Chain A
């Protein structure tokens, strides 16, 4: 193994993870829990009970000021000024050429206040792009990533775990909404969002030093509900089953949102914005790829970056793949041409030189029962 350029940063929960026996790995410059014991057991706990994730590596960038909304309409592809206070939106930031720099969740905290949540690896790019793009607007852009911890509580029992610990009436917090509340006596931004395909909450803490107290309180309350700490490995298989894209896998700077089949996040019914010309062109000319699901017939895991073949001709590439704990078989997501007829032919994936039989299935692989 090669030495990293610099030592990875630790979250405020590192000691808590070490005490819980976590395997810690360098992820996007952060020392993060990969798993605590069996990642398969963690995955199943999130599907059947609840899991607790440390996501403090994610970035938080705050915009405040009379023109914060206008600045975001200009900087991002979404129509953020239209978002109501207390609600959140999934959106993207692209470069002038329309290439995706990151996918984001943006919370509108007030008329003049937004919190932009970026992927850890992209925080420097997103923070500097936002600062630059907002420079002509009456708004302040502050990268508060270092001040924040983020804990995600996910799973069907998340409500039961959280309810006794918060002043919020959880029934009032809809999916993709977030408000200031308290958890374990600490003021937090409490959002009903997640990346697992389950009901759940994301808890933003500032300062980050409050995280161990809130984590321990949730674990103590959650024990009787089957709550377990869960690492990045489970997080990845959970989001894959839920058909959710991951930046660097399904989304890259080489793809526009239209190429990725996610053109719906681009809103042209607003003023000028960075990437608009290129994206209008892409909306007309891009042969949108289609993200499809592949379910292996055998047990050999599928991985990202493998050729997808129909009747022995390459028709696409996998972007992510893993054994699915819920389905008990390997799954993968793959890009194919948008007009490819996937209803006929024999599909295989080239797994290091050997063709593995797969079936094309609708995404997501897993959808929770309402």
Chain B
């Protein structure tokens, strides 16, 4: 399973990368594989405020519905519109084309997990 080292992670299986105050958020390949074929993604709306640790959207697979938790505080500035027609890219490229939304962070998160920490966590769940 791939866990890119340059990203930050949450225990709820989101990844985040912050560049110039803008956080890009997605779910990990571990999460995508566990969910099965992803058929629908409900992202937060652009312009809405999200809070770290709070649910802000949903990922649905054939058999399940899972909340998306924001890893950061801030305002949503962009959502991945392509997921509307191609939600399966969350399965095929969870760390790339399958990104979910972008947030202008109001404060730098301090509690993100490193790739190594996240990998340990998922090994415990397998």
Tell me if A38 is interfacial: C-beta within 8 Å of chain B.
yes
Contact check, B40 vs A39: say whether CB atoms are below 8 A apart. Answer: no
- Asked if A367 is an interface residue, CB under 8 A from chain B, the answer is no
- A301 and B36 alpha carbons, distance in the complex (Å): 14
Q: Is A40 an interface residue when CB atoms closer than 8 A count as contact? A: yes
Q: Per-position contact with B for A285-308: 1 when CB-CB < 8 Å, else 0?
A: 000000000000001110100000
Q: Give the A interface residue count (CB, 8 A).
A: 17
**A300-B37 CB under 8 A given contacts A39-B62, A322-B62:** no
> Chain B contact residues: over half helix, strand or loop, or mixed?
mixed
Neighbouring A residues of B37 by C-beta, 8 Å: 38-40
Contact A233 B40 (CB under 8 A): no
A301 nearest CB neighbor, chain B only: B60
In the complex, A35 Cα to B65 Cα: how many Å? 17
Residues 34 to 70 of chain A near chain B (Cβ within 8 Å): 34-35, 38-40
Find chain A residues with CB under 8 A from B39 CB.
Answer: 299, 301, 323, 330
| Complex Cα–Cα for A163 and B7 (A) | 53
The interface residues of chain B lying within 8 Å CB-to-CB of A34 are 36, 63
CB neighbours (8 Å) of B60 from chain A are: 300-301, 323
Give the residue among B37, B60, B62 with the most A Cβ atoms within 10 A. Answer: B62
- The answer to whether B63 and A233 touch across the interface, beta carbons within 8 angstroms, is yes
- Considering the complex, give the chain A residue whose CB is closest to the CB of B60: A301
Chain A binding surface, main DSSP class: mixed
Nearest chain B CB to A76 CB, angstrom units = 32
Contacts of A237 in B (CB 8 A): 62
CB of B102 to closest CB in A, whole Å: 22
**Interface-centre pick from B37, B65, B84, B91 (highest chain A CB count, 10 A):** B37
The complex places the Cα of A40 from the Cα of B40 at a distance, in Å, of 14
Given the known inter-chain contacts A38-B37, A233-B63, please indicate yes or no for A300 contacting B84, CB distance below 8 A. no
Q: Chain B interface (Cβ within 8 Å of chain A)?
A: 36-37, 39-40, 42, 60, 62-63, 65, 84, 87, 91
19 contacts between A and B (CB under 8 A): A23-B36, A38-B36, A38-B37, A38-B91, A39-B37, A39-B63, A40-B37, A233-B63, A299-B40, A300-B60, A301-B39, A301-B40, A301-B65, A322-B63, A323-B39, A323-B60, A323-B62, A330-B39, A352-B65
Closest 10 CB pairs of A and B: A323-B39, A40-B37, A301-B60, A39-B62, A300-B40, A299-B40, A38-B37, A233-B63, A233-B62, A39-B37
Given contacts A39-B37, A39-B62, A323-B60, 19 further A-B contacts (CB under 8 A): A34-B36, A34-B63, A35-B36, A38-B36, A38-B37, A39-B36, A40-B62, A237-B62, A299-B40, A299-B87, A300-B42, A301-B40, A301-B60, A322-B63, A323-B39, A323-B40, A323-B62, A330-B39, A352-B65
